[in-house]
Structure 1
Amino acid sequence: MPNIENRVRKLAKPSNHAQGLQPLFEAISNAFYAIEDRFEAKAGSEGLVRVTIRNLGHNDMLKIDVADNGIGLDQARFEAFCVIDTDFKRLKGGKGVGRLFWLDAFSDVVVRSSYIEKMQLVPRTFRFQLGNEDQIQNQAADIPTLLMSEPGVSISFSGLRIKAYQDHFPKRADTFLRYFSAHFIADFLVGAGPKVVVDIDGDITEFPKVISELVEGPAMETGQFETDDFGILEIKAFACDPSASTGLDGNHQLHLLGNGRTVESRKIDGLLGIAGIKAGEKEGLFFHACVSGEYLNDRVNEGRTAFNLSEKTLKELTRQCVEVVKSKLLLDQVEEYKIARRERFEDFISRHPIYGFEDTETQLSRVPFNATQPEDFAAGLVKYQIRKDEARQDAMEKVIATLEGVEDVPANFAETVVSAAKNLQDAERLSLAQHVVRRKLVLELMEKLIRRIKVQEGKPDGFHLEKTLHSFIVPMSVQGSEGLTPQSRDHDLWIVDERLAFTRGFASDVRLNKILKEGGTADRPDLLVWDVAYGLGAVDPNDKKGGVDVSEPLRKVMIVEFKRPGRRDYQKAEDQVEQQITKYLLQLKEGEVEAFGRERVRIAPDCIFYCYVVADIIGDLKTQLSSWKTTANRQGRLRMLEGEFQGSIEVIQWTDLVNDAWSRNQASLHAAGLRRR
């Protein structure tokens, strides 16, 4: 005698809504089978299943009736019902254990049936209960009106028995309908399912009507096709409104059928690639494909909840089916998608040349088929980039080791060196291209910023404030020597001077009394660069002094002031350019700035100050600078510092600042195949 209580206790317990509904879905699937047994080819047109739900959301009061007009529980079928692990429905994939889920989920199960015997309608009623003995408790016939005129079965479920089902049985009608539709969508799509009327507390929904309304255009069929690993398969597919995928994981779906019933649905968004498919004039539809075949029929588990296949096998089966779909059912749309995807990838490479280390087709084959965004391309290619970099570095190290070794140099060593050098040159070319592309974008944006593009509501369009441009070139209120401040490394000071590309010895919009160890006022130069004497150079982040010999005084210092583009009014005393710069110099001369590691760096008495003012020379400023010398291009203004200060003040127009930066990068742009817009 089988231990039914133990069998039920060991059944997998639900962890989501789909699994929480599995016992009810088993009853509905049985109703489908019973209708097929009675009506055969006419099951879709003659069959009817009514699912009536009351008190949804109230676990103890929940009542569900599943009634069908199928063949009914005649003697043979009743005897099969009484036997666990019956072979009665094996040809249809039934294992005879689905009803054990009823005992696990529901507190009370009553089965009522009518069947034809000797040309008469015979009733049968019994309670199905959990226990190792007498699970079938026959009762006096209590036949619903539905079963009084024709055969059928009505199963009444009451209350949810255990916490796992109480937690994961849907509490809302819309949730229930989403999961019901998702589970049986393939049955309704392929036309195998009968009419199903779902009544949830008085609200009626009819299937397959609601599903058929979601389908656009005719069905798409592959016909039978043979695979090496999975035998002969067949796919019937549909273009559906996006709501058809509600409740499913993913948009496009591959429904794997076992014996005509959905066993598992797998999302194929990544494999299919296309965001939405077209049917006639409608776009943005989701693809639902139903796959059937003997291979799947023979591998359904006993609960008809999954296939007895490894995940690896299911993934490969899915992949092969999607390839057939793309070649037979969606060829034109896939080709159109491939062209658009390639264009996006080539645009990605133009912006991020370091990923162009192989030809386009090779690189595209390395990323997921649905990859269309820059981050998706990069994520798919980065591991190949790392492998290539590692291989290149290993090759160079081997060349160096050979040269340093005592053994004779091999005969083919020259070829090895040439190959290693070429690989290194290729890498350098890609890195340069990446660097230049970024600089090109920076300069193009800079050009936009200095034009009259700022929209002001109720006023004429104005220029951006100087702080906008200042922040674009270098973050404000940041001191580069503060190594723990992330912004201290994020700047584009090369726009001002190429030697500043990697400097950290600067202060941006920082008060002089904070920059200087002693003295100083609250005045804030827009930009003060104090390591000019040391090449304005790249510093070692592991060196607390930043690679600067603090015992030597600073003999060159750069000061930069930014003025708003288009500004014309400079009438106030503090607006006098020379006066403003002199005020800074008086505080800096022979002072001490705070360097890396809080070290002091003296400013030499004979320090040369390179002072720049970036502004449009118009209006009051043009008058103010009328006595100054013009620069070589005759657009800027220049005045040498006199008296106790050495150096110069140069006024550079915004346009010239950007043009000079373009000129300095022209050779690199040309080498990378780029040009200024």
Structure 2
Amino acid sequence: MFAIEDRLGGKASGGRIDIRVTNRSDPERIEVVVSDSGIGLDSKRYDAFCEIDTDFKRSRGGKGVGRLFWLDAFSTIRVESTYHRDGASLQRAFDFLLNNREQVMPRFEDVEAASADCGTTITFKGLRTKEYADTFPRRSDTFLRYFSAHFIADFLVGSGPTIFIDLDGELTEYPKAVAELTVGNPLETTFDHSEFGTLKIVGFTCLAEASTGLEGRHQLHLLANDRTVETRKVDNLLGVENLERNGQSDLVFHGCVSGEYLDLRVNEGRTAFNLPERTLKDISRACMEIVKERLLPDQVAKFVKDRHQSYVSFVERYPTFGFDADELQLRRVPFHATSAEDFASGLIKYQIRREETRQSSLQALIDALDLDQVPINLEATVESAAKEIQASEQLALAQHVVRRKLSLELLDRLIKRIRARDGKEDDYHLESTLHAFIVPMRVRGDDGAELKSRAHDLWVVDERLAFTRAFSSDKRLDAILAEGGTRDRPDLLVWDLAYGLGVTDADNPDSVDVSEPLRTVMVVEFKKPGRTVYAKAEDNIEQQITKYLAQLKGGEIESFDRARVRVADDCIFYCYVVADIRGDLEQQLSSWETTSNGQGRIRQLRGFYRGQIEVIQWQDLINDAWLRNRATLHAAGLSRNRPTPLKPKAEPPPSDDDAED
């Protein structure tokens, strides 16, 4: 390239370079031929070539050692060159050898050339060592990828010569092959940095293929003396995944950075900078901030807006992370963060620090109250502590409410799905799924060996059941009662309604106080949503419930630890049937009283039994749970328009140490 520039007066765009590579799969026979239409090796340039360390091209970044790498890599090297002198076209040829005494072995020089065209051809044959043989790219796409990456700045800017690469007959033209991947005109800016001096950035929006083989989509090419030295992935620093321009989308960014600071800090082979990784990252960050501000402001602004909306949605799903103002929280996470996992991983350390600080402050306050001398600002301190506790509990409660919201949405969809199926063959599976969603089937809640019994959503049926463990779901009565019982399986039997009813040990909520008989028991039956046929005798709801109660009353429930809990003779039974009141069931319940909302049915138990049976429509069960959940949300003051939290100390943005890795 320099030879062509010398011939054409500093411009290389009118020149040509041909590269032919053959026998790539055979390291011993591989051949690389490079021909240019440059100024040729005249006497001055030949003398510079023969000198081991020369400053002939130092003004353009040349260190005079590049040709020494040829000797390290190839077994045979031959140079042939045509040049002009005093109006005549002359030729010279020589072999370049790895030799202790003479490395340049002339074949001929200053002979008359057959053609007046200047230029040089260099032929490399046979890879010398296993290290080169193992790593030399055998595939065409790999070879072109390495080549394109090394000269990407020249090709993007388009100021270099035309280069043809012939890989065993496959021809590729540069910079056309790269230029065809660009969309729109180059974007250019210059800025001054306090440490790195004046840096110039030429940016290109390209088709995604421009980054094929490179790590990441968006690239920043750091140049020294107009040659690419290092290419760095900057996806995380840019943030925007897909760029748009001239009506095209899914574009990538390639930026070429140059400046005196980089020119003076490149190694002799121009293969790396003599700079620590930390400094290279700082340069990349500084440049990408300018790119976002000056070259791609509209697309970055759209990304920032979408990112904020993603964060809002994230906090709505995971309210415990909304412990500070949106703007502050977004500054705490990497700029590229857009997913729930990104936000959570970036904020978790701040959440932990905040909780640790809060707990330490509370402990300090508690310790202060043990002292004889009460602090002067005690009232303000206690008030501040109370607000901190309230804010923390609100966030935790919000997370609880959001989880319940999703549960209700799923339950509602499941019920509608069962109704829509209307008796299809696989309805049993849907019906079992509905039951299992509310509470696992065939389990006892007080059986510690069954872990699945620990998770349920019985709060949908009754808020008092949110943490109950003393229940049986779809278990035979003869497996629950200490003696007697039949094969009948109530859908849900609960004997631990609430701590306040005196049936649990406050210090051990999973235990049952066996010293007192059970005076409150709940029985729940789930009927398939949409069911209309209740024609059989066993389908009579009142008889079915009474049959269960007859076995429970006066009996003993055997808990998991073999302790027996007697059901009191005067036990009050709260019996619920969840069903759609339609078809035969509507006729069956026609003599029952209606509930307060006019949709359900209710009847007092008669004869030997105390309590009532209430039939609740599926939709009413869901609606009531929705109202309770919404009431919790509003009562706690949980919304996106919550009061602004206390301002924390100013914090630096995240380090993003892996931003370009």
Give the structure-2-normalised TM-score: 0.85
Q: Does 1:232 align with 2:198?
A: yes
- CA distance in structure 2 between the aligned counterparts of 1:288 and 1:541, rounded to whole angstroms: 66
- CA distance in structure 2 between the aligned counterparts of 1:551 and 1:83, rounded to whole angstroms: 104
Give the match for residue 468 of structure 1: 433
Give the match for residue 17 of structure 1: none
After superposition, residues 514-593 of structure 1 pair within 5 angstroms as 524-532=489-497, 534=499, 546-549=510-513, 554-581=518-545, 584=548, 590-593=555-558
Deviates more, 1:85-94 or 1:444-453: 444-453
Query: Out of 34, 39, 59, which is 2:3 matched to?
Result: 34
Q: Does 1:310 align with 2:266?
A: no
1:284-339 superposed Cα distances (whole Å, 9 cap, x missing partner): 31111111100011111223222111222111111111111122112222222222
SS in 2 for 1:665: helix
Deviation at 1:435, TM superposition (A): 2.4
Amino acid at match of 2:567: A
SS in 2 for 1:659: helix
Give the match for residue 66 of structure 1: 34
Give the match for residue 610 of structure 1: 574
SS in 1 for 2:151: helix
Q: Does 1:414 align with 2:379?
A: yes
- CA distance in structure 2 between the aligned counterparts of 1:277 and 1:457, rounded to whole angstroms: 49
Q: Does 1:114 align with 2:82?
A: yes
1:3-42 superposed Cα distances (whole Å, 9 cap, x missing partner): xxxxxxxxxxxxxxxxxxxxxxxxxxxxx23322332443
User: Is 1:612–1:651's contact at 8 Å kept on the other side of the alignment?
Assistant: yes
- CA distance in structure 2 between the aligned counterparts of 1:275 and 1:433, rounded to whole angstroms: 32
Amino acid at match of 2:625: A
SS in 2 for 1:559: strand
- CA distance in structure 1 between the aligned counterparts of 2:205 and 2:444, rounded to whole angstroms: 59
- CA distance in structure 2 between the aligned counterparts of 1:284 and 1:537, rounded to whole angstroms: 65
Q: Does 1:635 align with 2:599?
A: yes
Deviation at 1:156, TM superposition (A): 3.0
After superposition, residues 53-202 of structure 1 pair within 5 angstroms as 53-130=21-98, 132-139=100-107, 150-202=117-169
Query: Out of 1, 10, 17, which is 1:49 matched to?
Result: 17
Distance 1:47 1:496, change over 3 A: same
Give the match for residue 649 of structure 2: none
Identity of aligned residues (%): 57
Give the match for residue 209 of structure 1: 176
Deviation at 1:510, TM superposition (A): 5.0
Deviation at 1:579, TM superposition (A): 4.7
User: Is 1:628–1:639's contact at 8 Å kept on the other side of the alignment?
Assistant: yes
Amino acid at match of 2:438: I
Distance 1:383 1:85, change over 3 A: farther
After superposition, residues 234-383 of structure 1 pair within 5 angstroms as 234-383=200-349
After superposition, residues 469-488 of structure 1 pair within 5 angstroms as 469-477=434-442, 479-481=444-446, 483=448, 487-488=452-453
Give the match for residue 404 of structure 2: 439
For structure 2, list consecutive stretches of 5 or more residues without a partner in the other structure.
641-661
- CA distance in structure 2 between the aligned counterparts of 1:499 and 1:458, rounded to whole angstroms: 34
Number of aligned pairs?
Answer: 635
- CA distance in structure 2 between the aligned counterparts of 1:524 and 1:107, rounded to whole angstroms: 87
Deviates more, 1:457-466 or 1:343-352: 457-466
User: Is 2:50–2:104's contact at 8 Å kept on the other side of the alignment?
Assistant: yes
1:187-241 superposed Cα distances (whole Å, 9 cap, x missing partner): 111123321112122111111112111111111111x321111101111111111
Distance 1:548 1:177, change over 3 A: farther
User: Is 2:496–2:503's contact at 8 Å kept on the other side of the alignment?
Assistant: no
Deviation at 1:602, TM superposition (A): 3.1
1:595-651 superposed Cα distances (whole Å, 9 cap, x missing partner): 3xx554434354544332211011122223334443333322334455666544332
Deviates more, 1:396-405 or 1:453-462: 453-462
Deviation at 1:478, TM superposition (A): 5.0
- CA distance in structure 2 between the aligned counterparts of 1:138 and 1:253, rounded to whole angstroms: 44
User: Is 2:76–2:124's contact at 8 Å kept on the other side of the alignment?
Assistant: yes
1:333-382 superposed Cα distances (whole Å, 9 cap, x missing partner): 22222222222322333333322222222122112222222222222222
- CA distance in structure 2 between the aligned counterparts of 1:489 and 1:80, rounded to whole angstroms: 83
- CA distance in structure 1 between the aligned counterparts of 2:374 and 2:222, rounded to whole angstroms: 62
Deviation at 1:657, TM superposition (A): 0.7
SS in 2 for 1:199: strand
Deviation at 1:501, TM superposition (A): 1.7
- CA distance in structure 2 between the aligned counterparts of 1:559 and 1:97, rounded to whole angstroms: 90
SS in 2 for 1:187: helix
Give the match for residue 650 of structure 2: none
Distance 1:315 1:577, change over 3 A: same
1:487-520 superposed Cα distances (whole Å, 9 cap, x missing partner): 4444322111112222334444456666667777
Distance 1:535 1:236, change over 3 A: same
Deviates more, 1:581-590 or 1:109-118: 581-590
Give the match for residue 653 of structure 2: none
Deviation at 1:391, TM superposition (A): 1.1
- CA distance in structure 2 between the aligned counterparts of 1:68 and 1:519, rounded to whole angstroms: 102
- CA distance in structure 2 between the aligned counterparts of 1:542 and 1:155, rounded to whole angstroms: 89
1:500-554 superposed Cα distances (whole Å, 9 cap, x missing partner): 22233444445666666777776654334343364699999997x8354466655
SS in 2 for 1:155: strand
- CA distance in structure 2 between the aligned counterparts of 1:324 and 1:482, rounded to whole angstroms: 63
Q: CA RMSD in A?
A: 3.7
- CA distance in structure 2 between the aligned counterparts of 1:160 and 1:583, rounded to whole angstroms: 92
User: Is 1:182–1:246's contact at 8 Å kept on the other side of the alignment?
Assistant: no
Distance 1:663 1:107, change over 3 A: same
Give the match for residue 655 of structure 2: none
Query: Out of 610, 614, 620, which is 2:584 matched to?
Result: 620
Give the match for residue 9 of structure 1: none
- CA distance in structure 2 between the aligned counterparts of 1:221 and 1:337, rounded to whole angstroms: 22
Amino acid at match of 2:533: D
SS in 1 for 2:436: helix
Deviates more, 1:546-555 or 1:152-161: 546-555
User: Is 2:205–2:253's contact at 8 Å kept on the other side of the alignment?
Assistant: yes
For structure 1, list consecutive stretches of 5 or more residues without a partner in the other structure.
1-31
- CA distance in structure 2 between the aligned counterparts of 1:74 and 1:98, rounded to whole angstroms: 19
Give the match for residue 459 of structure 2: 494
Moved over 6 A (4+): 453-464, 516-522, 536-543
Q: Does 1:661 align with 2:630?
A: no
SS in 1 for 2:270: coil
1:551-604 superposed Cα distances (whole Å, 9 cap, x missing partner): 665554433332221111223455443454455556666344443xx5544343
Amino acid at match of 2:313: D
User: Is 1:278–1:285's contact at 8 Å kept on the other side of the alignment?
Assistant: yes
Deviates more, 1:394-403 or 1:617-626: 617-626
User: Is 1:533–1:554's contact at 8 Å kept on the other side of the alignment?
Assistant: no
User: Is 2:418–2:530's contact at 8 Å kept on the other side of the alignment?
Assistant: no
Deviation at 1:393, TM superposition (A): 1.0
Amino acid at match of 1:56: R
Distance 1:642 1:291, change over 3 A: same
- CA distance in structure 1 between the aligned counterparts of 2:342 and 2:37, rounded to whole angstroms: 52
- CA distance in structure 2 between the aligned counterparts of 1:573 and 1:484, rounded to whole angstroms: 38
- CA distance in structure 2 between the aligned counterparts of 1:456 and 1:139, rounded to whole angstroms: 91
